[in-house]
């Protein structure tokens, strides 16, 4: 079957759909603005072990409806085993793809992130009819693949260290304690520490990034209340912007501070950043840890945020 996916700024719904539907023959339709995103998606699919995804790309004019229709029909070339994924792309791209699907009577799909499922529609006499949706399982992409889709190359530097040493800073000890508290809940593959995307001149560094049920959470760790200021909120907000890390990212700041200034919590609310204050953190060098009951509370709050 040939799957035709419209590529927008958010590639993860396309990856989820291709892998869930197991369409081995894929055409990624992009514009000049989303060419790089499409190429990164090709790279991720090419590294997939099984099944083998055959993937081609097609560049179209973002807003020329008739030209898009013509190019798509030329690519289809009389095939009838076609399915269209309308999740991404421009409105004109979606309209062109929809019109061809209705004309041919072939299926269309749309990834609904809020329900973590792929909605499917068939056509009868030119009218769409909803068919059984497909749930998106949590094994359809890995955390490194997610980062690669949005950034291409990145470095993983681990917990914060003192300059030119392997010794953790107090902040690094707190990061490690949070990491260890969450590790048993999500597994080693789904939590990474110290992520620095390349190509942004060192402006972005992520303390912790977490994957759970196809949702992504960026975590900024600040063990002292003095560290929780506007600059710290910007550190978690910046990489979570749609242009950098997609629209599906949750933003969390975790602190061991007992109290925070009212202006900080108000600013966090405006920036849609969840602040989690934890007690029971014990700083003891490499043995720094969070009490088990507090670790459970921490996980309960984060998993609720990521639903």
Q: What is the pLDDT of residue 248?
A: 72
Q: Selecting from 3.40.1350.10, 1.10.10.10, 3.40.50.360, 3.40.50.300, what CATH number does the domain 144-305 have?
A: 3.40.1350.10
Which helix or strand (DSSP H or E) is residue 69 part of? helix 65-76
Mean pLDDT of 104-128: 93
Task: Render pLDDT for 205-258 as a digit per residue (tens, 0 to 9).
Answer: 899 999 998 889 999 998 775 665 666 677 776 666 655 676 678 999 999 888
Task: Give the predicted TM-score (pTM) of the model.
Answer: 0.89
Paired tokens of 277: 């204050």
Paired tokens of 13: 């719904």
Q: Is the pLDDT of residue 49 over 60?
A: no
Q: Rounded CA gap, 141 and 45, in Å?
A: 10
Question: Which CATH class, in words, describes the domain spanning 2-135?
Answer: alpha beta
Dihedral sign, CA of 167, 168, 173, 178?
negative
Q: What is the pLDDT of residue 225?
A: 57
Q: Where in the chain are all domains bearing CATH 3.40.1350.10?
A: 144-305
Question: pLDDT higher for 46 or 41?
Answer: 41
Task: Supply the angle between the helices 262-270 and 230-237 in degrees, to the nearest 10.
Answer: 20
Q: pLDDT above 70 covers what percent of the chain? A: 90
Q: Rounded CA gap, 196 and 204, in Å?
A: 6
Q: pLDDT above 90 covers what percent of the chain? A: 64
Least confident range of 76-90, 91-105, 214-228, 279-293: 214-228
Q: Rounded CA gap, 38 and 33, in Å?
A: 10
Q: Where in the chain are all domains bearing CATH 3.40.50.10770?
A: 2-135
Question: pLDDT higher for 242 or 36?
Answer: 36
Question: pLDDT higher for 243 or 134?
Answer: 134
Paired tokens of 241: 């912007």
Q: Is the pLDDT of residue 176 over 90?
A: yes
Beta strand segments in the chain, E: 2-6, 25-30, 54-59, 82-85, 107-112, 117-124, 127-135, 154-156, 191-197, 206-212, 215-222, 249-255, 274-277, 281-282, 289-290
- Exposure class string for 247-272: b at 16+ Cβ within 10 A, else e: ebbbbbbbbbbeebeeebeebbeeee
pLDDT, the chain, mean: 89
Pairing of strands 289-290, 25-30: unpaired
Q: How would residue 285 be classed by pLDDT, with cut points 50, 70 and 90?
A: low
Q: How would residue 203 be classed by pLDDT, with cut points 50, 70 and 90?
A: confident
Task: Supply the angle between the helices 143-151 and 12-21 in degrees, to the nearest 10.
Answer: 130
Q: Is the link from the previous residue into 248 a cis peptide, with omega within 30 of 0?
A: no
CB 110 within 8 A of CB 87: yes
Measured CA to CA in angstroms, residue 158 lies from 196, 225, 239, 248 at distances of: 10, 23, 17, 24
Contacts of 121 (CB under 8 A, 6+ apart): 107, 108, 109, 128, 129, 130, 131
């Amino acid at each position: 079957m040939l799957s035709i996916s419209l590529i927008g700024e958010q590639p993860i719904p396309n990856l989820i759909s291709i892998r869930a539907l197991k369409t081995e023959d894929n055409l990624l339709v992009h514009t000049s603005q989303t060419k790089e995103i499409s190429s990164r998606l090709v790279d991720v699919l090419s590294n997939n072990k099984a099944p083998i995804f055959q993937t081609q790309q097609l560049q179209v004019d973002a807003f020329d409806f008739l030209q898009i229709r013509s190019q798509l029909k030329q690519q289809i070339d009389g095939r009838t085993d076609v399915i269209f994924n309308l999740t991404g792309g421009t409105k004109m791209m979606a309209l062109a793809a929809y019109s061809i699907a209705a004309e041919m009577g072939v299926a269309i799909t749309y990834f609904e992130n809020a329900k973590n499922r792929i909605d499917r529609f068939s056509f009868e006499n030119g009218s769409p009819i909803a068919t059984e949706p497909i749930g998106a399982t949590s094994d359809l992409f890995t955390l490194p693949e997610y980062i690669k889709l949005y950034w291409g190359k990145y470095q993983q530097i681990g917990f914060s260290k003192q300059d030119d040493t392997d010794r953790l800073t107090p902040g690094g000890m707190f990061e490690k304690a949070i990491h260890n508290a969450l590790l048993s809940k999500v597994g080693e593959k789904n939590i990474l520490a110290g992520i620095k995307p390349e190509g942004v001149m060192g402006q972005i560094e992520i303390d912790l990034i977490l994957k759970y049920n196809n949702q992504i959470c960026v975590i900024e760790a600040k063990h002292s209340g003095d560290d929780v200021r506007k600059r710290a909120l910007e550190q978690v907000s910046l990489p979570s912007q749609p242009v950098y890390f997609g629209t599906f990212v949750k933003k969390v700041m975790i602190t061991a501070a007992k109290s925070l200034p009212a202006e900080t919590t108000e600013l966090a609310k405006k920036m849609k950043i969840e602040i989690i204050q934890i007690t029971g953190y014990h700083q003891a060098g490499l043995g720094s840890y969070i009490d088990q009951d507090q670790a459970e509370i921490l996980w309960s709050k984060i998993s609720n945020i990521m639903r």
